[in-house]
């Protein structure tokens, strides 16, 4: 106990972000696009209405959320509220807002569908709400397809058909590659499920690599070897290092890009009117045409000294009008049922954006249950990390596919065993 206290004191002294003082509510926030400015604007309005509560918004890099916040939380410290994506694995650090919010029933009715994503299994806590829902999916460079005289594949097109069509564009327009997928185990999990994969065993432990994973992994490797998939994105890094393929799509170096709905604002801003692009949902496999749902949640931290103030801030940010404004200005997909039901007037002049948002909303109806279960499954991160590490080794010629499958199973088993001690 003494050791723990001494270490906690040391950590407290060393860590940069400290819990807020009485009357202060400190929010740790990361941004992909303009949402940092939007939330600051909304919080300024809250502070005008609630002069006794001072909300401090710490805009940090995503890496800080991923790497430093968990350490702060383990030390029993951290901000009062945080925007996070590693929602399930850290669920034991989130504050149950139920006694601190005005109307828990409002939360359960409008935002409750994703509560299991962010609370320990079996809990009925209200830890926070999703600031955005995301869904993995593809984007096609419409202009390049038109210039190549290749028809954009239809809604039920398979992965093979998409790669073939994008390959024709690549050959015609002399592109470096036909398509790219972000270097991330998360990103290939929707396609894996579409090929029949199920990561979750009956006892909710990680299942061994199955035929679905093997089918899509083999295709990825083949497409990389043939030059259809952009080699640079996956091969030029080791381990779990994230690499996005967005820049190649933005620079019209590829015809097709598989990423997710969170890229819409980024693509709109950076592509402008350089070329036309469309969102395509997820290509099909033999089992489904599924993307992987997910998103970023805003959660209260249970180590806060001001839980009632945190409750007030969260009540304000989760209110329907505020969520609607946040959604319309950030171009994110909302998780609030009331907002989804009502009209959403996305604030953009870009004609590509509204079509893209509609395409992703439509694609949410095609999410396979095996993909829908992953955000609420605590071993998802272990699976994603092992997939990206080993498959990229195969692409680089360091492992055979069979060796990679064995290694993926071993890596996941080792991580689960270590974390379960």
Partner 1 sequence: MILAPVGWLARVLDPPLRALQRVGGRNGMAIFFVAPNMLIFGIFVLIPLVINFAYSMTGGGALFLGDRIFVGGEQYGRLFDCGNYLEPNSCREDLFWTAVWNTVFFVVLQVALMVGVALITALILNRDLKARSFWRAVFFFPVLLSPVVVGLIWRWILQRQGLLNYMIYELGFDPINWLVERNWAFAAAISVSVWAHMGFYALILLAGLQAIPKDLYEAAEMDGTRPARVFWRITLPLLAPNLLVVLVLTLIRAVQIFDEVYVLTGGGPGTSTLFITQYIYEVGFASLLRNPGLASAASILMGAVLVVLTLFQLGIARRGERRSAK
For partner 1, the binding residues (CB under 8 A) are 1, 3-4, 7-8, 66-67, 70-71, 74-75, 86, 89, 176, 231-232, 235-241, 243, 251, 253, 381-382, 384-385, 389, 392-393, 395-399, 403, 407, 410, 415, 418-421
CB of 48: closest distance to partner 1 in angstroms? 38
Pick from 277, 317, 321: nearest CA to 299 = 317
- The residue (of 149 and 421) whose beta carbon lies closer to partner 1 is 421
- The residue (of 243 and 324) whose beta carbon lies closer to partner 1 is 243
Which region holds residue 123: left if phi is over 0, alpha if psi is between -120 and 50, else beta?
Answer: beta
- The residue (of 231 and 354) whose beta carbon lies closer to partner 1 is 231
Residue 15 token pair? 């860590």
Alpha-carbon gap, residue 74 to 353, rounded angstroms: 40
* Beta-carbon contacts of residue 85 (< 8 Å; ≥ 6 apart): 65, 66, 294, 295, 296, 297
CB of 235: closest distance to partner 1 in angstroms? 5
- The residue (of 54 and 176) whose beta carbon lies closer to partner 1 is 176
- The residue (of 351 and 397) whose beta carbon lies closer to partner 1 is 397
CB of 373: closest distance to partner 1 in angstroms? 18
CB of 133: closest distance to partner 1 in angstroms? 20
Residue 388 token pair? 């990206």
CB of 75: closest distance to partner 1 in angstroms? 7
CB of 248: closest distance to partner 1 in angstroms? 9
Q: Where are the alpha helices (DSSP H) in 75-194?
A: 104-111, 142-148, 159-173, 189-194
- The residue (of 10 and 102) whose beta carbon lies closer to partner 1 is 10
Q: Could you tell me if 240 and 388 are in contact, meaning their C-beta atoms sit under 8 angstroms apart?
A: yes
Residues in the chain: 421
Q: Which long-range contacts (CB under 8 A, 24 or more apart) does 385-388 make?
A: 385/185, 385/240, 385/411, 385/415, 386/185, 386/411, 386/412, 386/415, 387/185, 387/188, 387/189, 387/192, 387/213, 387/217, 388/183, 388/184, 388/185, 388/188, 388/234, 388/240
CB of 1: closest distance to partner 1 in angstroms? 7
Pick from 114, 77, 115: nearest CA to 93 = 77
- The residue (of 183 and 195) whose beta carbon lies closer to partner 1 is 183
- The residue (of 18 and 251) whose beta carbon lies closer to partner 1 is 251
Taking the C-alpha atoms of 128, 133, 136 and 138 in order, what is their torsion angle to the nearest 10 degrees? -160
- The residue (of 201 and 341) whose beta carbon lies closer to partner 1 is 201
- The residue (of 56 and 64) whose beta carbon lies closer to partner 1 is 64
CB of 87: closest distance to partner 1 in angstroms? 11
Place of tokens 């499958």: 405
CB of 314: closest distance to partner 1 in angstroms? 25
Count of C-beta atoms within a 10 Å radius of residue 350: 19
DSSP 303-316: T-S-HHHHHHHHHH
Pairing of strands 277-281, 54-59: unpaired
Pick from 185, 183, 135: nearest CA to 294 = 135
CB of 46: closest distance to partner 1 in angstroms? 32
Count of C-beta atoms within a 10 Å radius of residue 34: 15
């Amino acid at each position: 106990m003494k050791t723990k206290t001494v270490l906690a004191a040391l950590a407290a002294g060393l860590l940069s972000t400290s819990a807020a003082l009485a009357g202060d509510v400190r929010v740790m926030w990361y941004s992909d696009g303009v949402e940092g400015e939007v939330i600051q604007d909304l919080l300024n309005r809250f502070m005008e209405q609630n002069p006794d509560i001072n909300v401090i918004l710490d805009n940090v890099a995503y890496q800080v959320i991923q790497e430093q916040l968990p350490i702060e939380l383990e030390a029993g410290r951290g901000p009062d509220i945080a925007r996070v994506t590693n929602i399930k694995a850290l669920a034991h650090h989130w504050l149950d807002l139920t006694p601190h919010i005005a109307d828990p029933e409002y939360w359960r009715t409008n935002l409750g569908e994703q509560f299991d994503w962010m609370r320990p299994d079996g809990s009925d806590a209200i830890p926070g709400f999703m600031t955005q829902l995301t869904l993995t999916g593809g984007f096609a460079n419409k202009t390049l397809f038109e210039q190549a005289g290749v028809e954009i594949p239809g809604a039920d097109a398979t992965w093979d058909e998409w790669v073939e069509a994008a390959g024709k564009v690549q050959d015609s327009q002399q592109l470096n590659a036909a398509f790219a997928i972000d270097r991330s185990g998360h990103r290939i999990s929707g396609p894996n499920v579409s090929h029949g994969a199920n990561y979750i065993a009956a006892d909710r432990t990680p299942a061994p690599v199955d035929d679905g994973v093997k089918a899509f992994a083999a295709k990825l490797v083949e497409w990389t070897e043939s030059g259809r998939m952009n080699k640079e994105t996956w091969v030029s890094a080791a381990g779990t290092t994230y690499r996005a393929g967005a820049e190649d799509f933005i620079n019209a170096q590829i015809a097709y890009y598989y990423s997710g709905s969170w890229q819409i604002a980024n693509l709109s801003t950076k592509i402008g009117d350089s070329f036309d692009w469309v969102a395509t949902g997820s290509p099909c496999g033999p089992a489904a045409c599924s993307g992987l749902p997910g998103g970023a949640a805003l959660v209260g931290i249970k180590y806060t000294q001001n839980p009632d103030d945190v409750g007030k801030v969260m009540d304000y940010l989760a209110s329907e009008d505020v969520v609607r404004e946040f959604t319309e200005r950030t171009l994110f997909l909302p998780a609030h049922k009331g907002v989804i039901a009502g009209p959403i007037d996305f604030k953009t002049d870009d004609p590509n954006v509204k079509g893209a948002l509609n395409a992703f909303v439509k694609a949410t109806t095609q999410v396979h249950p095996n993909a829908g279960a992953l955000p609420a499954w605590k071993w998802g991160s272990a699976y994603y990390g092992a997939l990206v590490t080993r498959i990229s080794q195969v692409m680089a010629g360091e492992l055979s596919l069979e060796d990679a499958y064995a290694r993926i199973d071993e890596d996941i088993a080792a991580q689960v065993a270590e974390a379960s001690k």
